[in-house]
Amino acid sequence: MDSAIVSENVVRTGNHQTFYLSAGPVNGPLVIFVHGWPELSISWRHQLPCLAGLGFRAIAPDMRGYGRSTVHPRHEDYALESIVADMIGLQDALDVEKAVWVGHDWGAPVVWSIASHHPERCHGVANISVPYYTLERGLDAILGLINRDVYPEGEFPVGQWEYQRFYEENFDAAIAPFDADPTNAIKALFRSGDPGGKNKPSRTAYVRNDGGWFRGATEPPEVDRDSNVLSEGDLSAYAAALGRNGFFGPSSYYMNHESNLAYAQRAVNDGVLELPTLFIAAEYDFTCECIDSRLAEPMREHCRNLTERAVQSGHWVAQEKPAEVNAALVNWLAMSLPDTWPK
């Protein structure tokens, strides 16, 4: 990322501080990028200069619990309603009525929730990996969408989402290996997609039976950094931030399924999205598997102006395949939101 065009900024809203990166002209159409678990604003390091170079004002915050944003002490502080309030507060501080929102991983349920509760603050929304009307409605809401050919119910009752149930049942054990060695944890997690995993259970399906991530080990394994996803500098930045703050905040996003469902049930227009939406599926993301499963079906039923694209990538799409993600995003902006294109 070209540091010459990216600035570091902070806004305060109530008891919360949001740190964010900003690139592009301050009067350009606003695009806000929302990262997931366990990422940072730098997860969008390939997208910010691209959009800024086209004349957009591109913003990427550290989400609640991450980086230089506030780390709150309770699980319930990380419910979607509070996180959406952070993002609307950020938008208010930027003094912009409408933005294009882009999310990935847990950032996707945040962005979908902004669209479904505050459509008047959105020109359109784009999300990667996690489709609409799924995770933002709680874990139980998506159990019927599991591909039981891959995840037999007797062996994997919660399918690829077994790891999320493990957080609820044994939170301390779930985060312990990450806190023990954030550097090795990031290296183990941030891997390129492997097409050989097709039609096989995702590693996330084994977390509960194994008694934790990394086959229940107390520390993550030592593996080489995947240079297709992370540079040495990227790894250092992730490890420093997660080592400083710990994994309590980031992992608390998994602890609010019931309250998230209650929030989703209060969406406007019965949760139907009329605004332009883009969904980018990762073909080799076998946890958020949208190619051969029913996971994306509710999104198609509830989005009236939906564009879908697929990228041959693992879960960390914007970092593994930035050119493809940038192309899909820019094309969608030009075709579906021409009035927002920089003048």
Sign of CA dihedral 209, 213, 219, 223: positive
Q: CATH number, domain at 230? A: 3.40.50.1820
Strand-strand pairing, 16-23 and 6-13:
antiparallel
Residue 126 pairs in a beta bridge with: 102, 278
Exposure letters 173-182 (e unless 16+ CB within 10 A, then b): bbbbbbbebb
Which residue type does 269 have? N
Which residue type does 136 have? E
Phi first, then psi: give them for residue 26, nearest 5 degrees.
-65, -20
pLDDT of residue 13: 87
Strand-strand pairing, 122-128 and 99-104:
parallel
Which residue type does 57 have? R
Residue 255 backbone zone (phi > 0: left; psi -120 to 50: alpha; other: beta): alpha
Structural tokens at position 105 = 């991983």
pLDDT of residue 40: 98
Residue 97, Cβ density class (10 Å: 0-12 exposed, 13-18 middle, ≥19 buried): exposed
Structural tokens at position 225 = 């950094």
Q: What's the pTM value of the predicted model, to 2 decimals? A: 0.97
Separation CA 138–CA 136 (nearest Å):
6
The total number of structural domains that make up the chain: 1
Specify whether the CB–CB gap between 299 and 132 falls below 8 A: yes
Three-class SS of residue 231?
Answer: coil
Residue 293 backbone zone (phi > 0: left; psi -120 to 50: alpha; other: beta): beta
Which residue type does 326 have? N
Specify whether the CB–CB gap between 25 and 55 falls below 8 A: yes
pLDDT of residue 181: 98
Structural tokens at position 78 = 């990380």
Domain ranges, residue 316:
3-340
Give the closest residue to 286 by CA, choosing from 185, 156, 174, 186.
Answer: 156
- The full DSSP string for 77-136 is GGSHHHHHHHHHHHHHHTT-S-EEEEEETTHHHHHHHHHHH-GGGEEEEEEESS-TTSGG
Phi first, then psi: give them for residue 77, nearest 5 degrees.
-70, -10
Determine the Cα angle at 80 with ends 76 and 82, to 5°: 70
Separation CA 41–CA 34 (nearest Å):
8
Structural tokens at position 14 = 């109530």
Separation CA 212–CA 176 (nearest Å):
9
10-residue mean pLDDT profile of the chain (343 residues): values are: 74 94 97 98 98 97 98 98 98 98 98 98 98 97 96 98 98 98 98 97 97 95 98 98 98 98 98 98 97 96 98 98 98 98 95
pLDDT of residue 184: 98
**Measured between alpha carbons, how far is residue 220 from residues 10, 83, 214, 306 in Å?**
33, 29, 6, 39
Separation CA 185–CA 197 (nearest Å):
21
Exposure letters 143-153 (e unless 16+ CB within 10 A, then b): eebbbeebbee
